[in-house]
Amino acid sequence: MSIEAITEKLLSEAKSESQKTLKEAELKISQLENDLEEKKRDLLLKEKEYRSANEKENTSRVQSKASWQVEQEIEKLKREALDEVFEKTLTKLNSLENNEYKKVLTKLLKKVEVDISQKITVFIPKNREKEVTEVLIERFGKDHKFEIKTDTNISGGVIISGSEFEYDLSFPSLLRNIKGHVEPEISKILFS
């Protein structure tokens, strides 16, 4: 499967996750807006008591500040909701069952070309050596000896490294690479 197809699959999963979190995000935003409106009213009342001489000027300033605070909190919640979509997608990818994990790796490795005469190191997540080894043998054959190293910084996927190349197919890197492309579309789904 091509990177585009993988991207589409990840986008589809991200969209699915975003729809699940949409209601949660809307509820959080609604609650925050209500809380902030209440805080805004409190601020206005306090400001009015302290500054009765310049009531109009102070009220306008407080309203402006309160509006700015509300906008900042809403933007913060939107950012958190988007980050949560990608975190849930990463968690889902990392927790795939063995066969599903192998299918994803197989798709990722289809376009990878390596010079089997080179020493090649494959960095893998902890507890995935069996699946990775099986996929590497299926893709490149039994004759090639890969050096497999566990890397605690990789939560899923693999990094294949030779003297003249490196393929970072780790799930966090793949998601970071597509995040900029799909985030606007996910934002539209969540916040439109």
- Residue 160: pLDDT band (50, 70, 90) is very high
Whole-number percent of the chain with pLDDT over 70: 79
Using only C-alpha atoms, the chain has a radius of gyration, in whole angstroms, of 25
Q: How far apart are CA 133 and CA 48, in angstroms?
A: 71
| Predicted local confidence at residue 29, as pLDDT | 66
Q: How far apart are CA 177 and CA 40, in angstroms?
A: 40
Task: Measure Cα distances from 154 to 100, 132, 159 in Å.
Answer: 18, 13, 8
Can you tell me whether residue 160 is helix, strand or coil? strand
Query: Taking the CB of residue 59, how many other CB atoms lie within 10 A of it?
Result: 14
The total number of residues shown for the chain amounts to 192
Higher pLDDT, 77 or 100: 100
In the chain, where are the structural domains located? 3-95+183-191, 98-175
Give the highest mean pLDDT range of 10-24, 50-64, 151-165.
Answer: 151-165
The arithmetic mean of pLDDT across residues 115-141, rounded, is: 87
Residue 105 contacts residue 135 (beta carbons within 8 Å): yes
Class for the domain spanning 98-175: alpha beta
Higher pLDDT, 5 or 87: 87
Backbone angles phi, psi at 157, to 5 degrees: 85, -165
| Predicted local confidence at residue 56, as pLDDT | 64
Start-to-end CA span in the chain (Å): 32
Whole-number percent of the chain with pLDDT over 90: 18
pTM score: 0.60
| 7-16 pLDDT tens trace | 677 667 666 7
Q: What is the largest CA-CA distance in the chain?
A: 87
Q: How far apart are CA 13 and CA 92, in angstroms?
A: 9
The arithmetic mean of pLDDT across residues 101-130, rounded, is: 87
| Predicted local confidence at residue 107, as pLDDT | 92
Q: How far apart are CA 76 and CA 78, in angstroms?
A: 5
Q: Which DSSP string do the residues of 81-108 spell out, in sequence order? A: HHHHHHHHHHHHHHT--HHHHHHHHHHH
